[in-house]
Structure 1
């Protein structure tokens, strides 16, 4: 029960990233550069605090936790992390919460599969069928129509998802995912400061409620959420943890209705079935292969 509650809480935090972004940008009128900077910098500050409080711990005898976090991270990983956050913010200017999370998740999976194929990994027939089904669902979701998500926003969310996939690939060699996350956010803070300066020159002042949303996204939904996830994920198989994350779009859809009054269109509901079902089939087939 404790594992279930911790998992549900962590997945809800991931879903809240979309809700908080939409609330800040659409409800309270914050502009995307400000949001990206505040989210990234507040996450870095929170992770620094978690390191100072020894919530994020280093290995004994290998130097300070700060030094270990820096070594576990990389400039490539921090670049992908920043690109993920920036495109995420830009996409949610026009993209509904549930549709955005759905596109983000499938883009991450396709990015990881593409990397595997480039490394010589071969797909089974079931994996290929599952991915083809998911891709068909995505095409149906984005096909022209009154209820289709905005194309530019969808493309930006695809880039965001691919960037998160790249970030995950960069961290595969890390001995501690929590330390690597902290180090990448520390490195990413440099881009955050530059983005904040650009926002001050190019964008207008934001409502205090928007600031609260951006701070909560970084200091609550992102930093502690990622650390908690890396504590939980060893309790699941690789496939199990991946399948569990497919619930995030569903949680986001419920929260979007309750908190943002965003409708769930028939197109989104129907297209979610092949998208999530296809990814689930591919993941389960990978475990059996």
Structure 2
């Protein structure tokens, strides 16, 4: 039960992250590069403070650090930049579809053999997600931004897979964020030197700080604490609930009434996830 609650809390943080990113980039007065940068720096600052307060030390080394830092940057900037142009639903479909492929492939390469019901459940959940998020007639897919979102999916899948090896989740997450900051500054300089600079107002910066310090920094540390206890394929499927949670949050905060289609598609997603995470017969007997 504790693992279920922690995983659910992590998915809530991820959903809040999506909402904050969309709010900032669509109407928050901040560009994608500025948002990603402020988000990363705020997360690094929050995690550094926590390490110094709770551990009285700040260790930046560790196994798989290069992979963690590179995949974090790929996800954050690919995600932020793609969402400026992509329809929100289509972007989420590309992102989570690629995450599923990346993590299931990682599971197979890591010697994991997901039972057939997990694959069937994942397929059902993604079918429900496609029904829920499929864009309307006017949506146009930008190949460049679609590729950026796919790259973000690969980045997040690899970041999640590398988290299974973290012996100290808080330290690993803090090191990833802190070491990514200098690379982030270099990336910003190289991409904005001829573009007239960054764009950011107070509202957009506030949203980026919250997304970085709370739903990213703390959320990712929590994710790294949960990952070693989950099979790779289970961790992949669980994330298909994030778009549903984000949409439910939108309904709650905006006071909208959910449609029958929304209810059925959400039920299909959650049902597929439930089928996927059901224990096998041998596991159930051991428990």
Specify the alignment match of 1:251 in structure 2. Answer: 245
Task: Determine whether 1:219 maps to 2:196.
Answer: no
- Give the TM-score normalised by the residue count of structure 2: 0.76
| Alpha-carbon distance in 1 for matches of 2:257, 2:149 | 19
SS of residue in 2 equivalent to 1:71: coil
Residue ranges of structure 2 left out of the alignment (5+ in a row): none
SS of residue in 2 equivalent to 1:226: helix
| Alpha-carbon distance in 1 for matches of 2:239, 2:127 | 20
CA contact (8 A) 1:72 1:176 kept: no
Specify the alignment match of 1:15 in structure 2. Answer: 15
Specify the alignment match of 1:175 in structure 2. Answer: 167
Residue ranges of structure 1 left out of the alignment (5+ in a row): 58-63
Specify the alignment match of 1:164 in structure 2. Answer: 156
Residues 19 and 138 of structure 1, relative CA distance in 2, 3 Å threshold: closer
Specify the alignment match of 1:107 in structure 2. Answer: 98
Residues 181 and 53 of structure 1, relative CA distance in 2, 3 Å threshold: same
Residue among 98, 118, 134 paired with 2:109: 118
1:65-144 alignment, distance < 5 Å: 65-67=57-59, 69-95=60-86, 100-101=91-92, 104-137=95-128
Residues 206 and 225 of structure 1, relative CA distance in 2, 3 Å threshold: same
The 10-residue stretch of structure 1 (21-30 or 95-104) with the greater mean CA deviation from structure 2: 95-104
The 10-residue stretch of structure 1 (35-44 or 267-276) with the greater mean CA deviation from structure 2: 267-276
The 10-residue stretch of structure 1 (26-35 or 143-152) with the greater mean CA deviation from structure 2: 143-152
Residues 22 and 83 of structure 1, relative CA distance in 2, 3 Å threshold: same
Specify the alignment match of 1:193 in structure 2. Answer: 185
| Alpha-carbon distance in 2 for matches of 1:82, 1:32 | 13
Q: What whole-Å deviation, never above 9, does each CA across 1:35-64 have from its counterpart, x for those lacking one?
A: 11111111111111111111xx3xxxxxx7
State the number of aligned residues. 279
Specify the alignment match of 1:60 in structure 2. Answer: none
| Alpha-carbon distance in 2 for matches of 1:279, 1:38 | 34
- Give the RMSD, CA atoms, in angstroms: 3.9
- Give the TM-score normalised by the residue count of structure 1: 0.76
